[in-house]
Amino acid sequence: MNVRGTWVGRPPYSISCIDPKLRTSLASLFGSRPLSPHRFQDRINALVTKAVATQDPAELEGVIRELREALHEHAKSLRKMAAEKLAMRQKA
């Protein structure tokens, strides 16, 4: 965000900000693979932006909860990727 309050570059919210439960439901309907690290980062950035911008304490609580979940999912995804790469190296 620049000084005037307008967004520079990508908008702060994207499809990656969809509620995880809804995203899981949609994935089960349409088939989907886990989010890439870049998509996780986009979602985390959007949630941080939303947390900084919110003025309502109740809304902030919800955003922080979503942010924790997103960080947890991202860490889980990174651990899985690392384990897969290690397994591939051990096979070679």
Residue 69 C-beta-side C-alpha neighbours within 13 Å: 14
User: For the chain, which residues make up each domain, given as ranges?
Assistant: 15-91
- Tens of pLDDT, residue by residue over 35-87, are 566 788 899 999 999 999 999 999 999 999 999 999 999 999 999 999 999 99
CA 6 vs. chain centroid, Å, equals: 22
Report the alpha-carbon angle 32-30-28, nearest 5. Answer: 75
Please report which residue ranges of the chain form alpha helices under DSSP H.
20-30, 37-53, 57-91
- Supply the pLDDT for residue 83: 93
- Supply the pLDDT for residue 39: 85
- Tens of pLDDT, residue by residue over 2-33, are 444 444 555 455 445 555 555 555 455 444 45
Q: How far apart are CA 57 and CA 65, in angstroms?
A: 12
Task: Answer for the pair 73, 20: CB distance below 8 angstroms, yes or no.
Answer: yes
